[in-house]
Amino acid sequence: MWKLERASVYVDLRITLPTYSRFYDDLNGTTSNSRKAQQLCNLIEQQDPDKLIKLTLDFPSSSNEYIPFLNTEVRIDDEGKIHSMLFRKPQKKPLTLHYNSHHTTRTKIATVESMYKTAEVVSSDYNNQRHSSKMVDTLLLNNGYPNRVIEAIKDKRKRQRKRHKTQTSDNTAILKLPYINEATSRKFRDAVKHSGLPVKIVEKPGRRLKDLLTDSRPLDKAKCTNKNCRTCESLSPSLDNGDCMSRNTIYKITCTLDNCMETYGGETYRPLYHRFDEHYRSAANPTAKSYVDKPLAKHYRDKHPKYNGNPKLKLEIVDKGSSLIDRKIKEAKFLVHNKPSLNDKSELNNLTQFLVP
């Protein structure tokens, strides 16, 4: 669409629009008559070499008629004043986050508040705000929200507008917790409140069956294109081509030279082949100053001092993390349970802070 518009809207001087904005396939502009608007649509269609793009025109028959644009309806009166209110396509199903869904109460309240805020922002005056708010009321009632809950959220928004200048602590820490149920969440919030600590609890829903059983992009798995990828050559046979580009991994490296079988464990956010290349180079150049303190360099310098060939290393992906803290916790668990011989004690001691005894 951008190519078609660039060759017509922005170049052709036969049509000028006082205002013009676009949202992929929704175009909005102001002009004095429908003939000019239709001419603009024709110019855009003509730029399509396959002649498959067909644009439909919504033009008001009078100054009292509203025209839909994205999530709003807009009209311009005889005095040039713009009026707007919330809009939902008639064919759009009346669905939103259901009241009985497995989400935190805070998430539901925040979703509803956001809907009312949007209805307020896109409405140009009080009457249109009432119209937009009623549309949200109907949508929420269709999705199981009791009327008392809706009114409570509206009253809360009114109170917030009266004291919109709220003071919040800059030192507040965020504590992310998985959502289990409302009773558990209430216990967490009460414990934090009674402690007096500047902590804000943020709950996130757990993984759904849809996340576990389906993949929206099954063909997007990365493939390694390097014919001489030393990481792929060192990977365990159970892993696939392309696993060398995995991120957020906890890994184990085993020295297989002369059946040595000593191991090292670590974690990385970067693609795995970046981190493994660093370990490989340190083992291949154990006397280099830049690698003198690296664990695999120490190992090859002390245990295989006469070996001058390529390092014999086997790489395994032990686990995958979702964040820095998650990776650190899983790495600490792996090191504590498996005690790899090439990890020094200070590293183990630093990681134990991520484990609860």
Same domain? For 78 and 18 the reply is yes
Same domain, 282 and 255: yes
Distance between CA atoms of residues 150 and 136, nearest Å: 10
Residue 217 lies in a domain: no
In a domain, 114, yes or no: yes
117 shares its domain with 137: yes
Percentage with pLDDT > 70 across the chain = 81
241-297 tens-digit pLDDT: 678 888 899 999 999 999 999 999 999 999 999 999 999 999 999 999 899 889 999
pLDDT at 308: 86
- Are residue 51 and residue 134 in the same domain, yes or no? no
Q: Are 316 and 254 in contact (CB under 8 A)?
A: yes
Bridge partners (DSSP) of residue 263 are 254
Q: 201: which strand partners?
A: 175
Residue 97 domain-assigned (yes or no):
no
Q: Are residues 244 and 339 in the same domain?
A: yes
pLDDT digits (tens, 9 = 90+) for 15-65: 555 555 555 556 677 777 888 888 878 877 887 777 777 888 888 888 888
> Residues 261, 342: one domain?
yes
Task: Among 114-123, 156-165, 279-288, name the one with the lowest average pLDDT.
Answer: 156-165
Mean predicted confidence (pLDDT) in 156-165: 73
Whole domain around residue 298: which residue ranges? 230-354
The most confident of 2-11, 228-237, 249-258, by mean pLDDT? 249-258
Bigger pLDDT: 171 vs 8: 171
- In angstroms, the first-to-last Cα distance of the chain is 58
Is residue 132 located within the same domain as residue 184?
A: no
pLDDT at position 11 is 54
Specify the pLDDT at position 319. 92
Cα distances from 46 to residues 13, 30, 77, in angstroms, run 16, 21, 32
Residues 275 and 244: beta-carbon distance below 8 Å: no
Domain count for the chain? 4
Do residue 76 and residue 24 come from a single domain? Answer: yes
Q: What is the pLDDT of residues 60-103, one digit of tens each?
A: 888 888 988 888 999 988 888 889 999 998 888 899 999 998 88
Is residue 292 domain-shared with residue 346, that is, in the same domain? yes
Q: Are both 158 and 178 inside the same structural domain?
A: no
pLDDT at 130 over 90: yes
The pLDDT of residue 5 = 63
CATH number at residue 315: 3.40.1440
Query: In this predicted structure, what is the pLDDT of residue 169?
Result: 47
Q: What is the mean pLDDT of residues 292-321?
A: 91
Same domain assignment for residues 257 and 340: yes
Residue 224 falls within a domain, yes or no? no
Is residue 73 in some structural domain? yes
- Please check whether residue 223 lies inside any domain of the structure: no
Query: What was the pLDDT predicted at 67?
Result: 87
Q: Which of 172-181, 286-295, 305-314 is predicted least confidently?
A: 172-181
Q: Is residue 324 part of a domain?
A: yes
Q: Residues 138-165: what's their mean pLDDT? A: 86
User: What is the reported pLDDT for 60?
Assistant: 86
Instruction: Let me know if residue 302 belongs to a domain.
Output: yes
* Same domain flag for 267 and 322: yes
Q: What are 188-223's pLDDT values in tens digits?
A: 888 988 888 888 888 877 667 776 677 666 666 667
The mean pLDDT value for 141-158 works out to: 91
pLDDT band at 311 (very low <50, low <70, confident <90, very high): very high
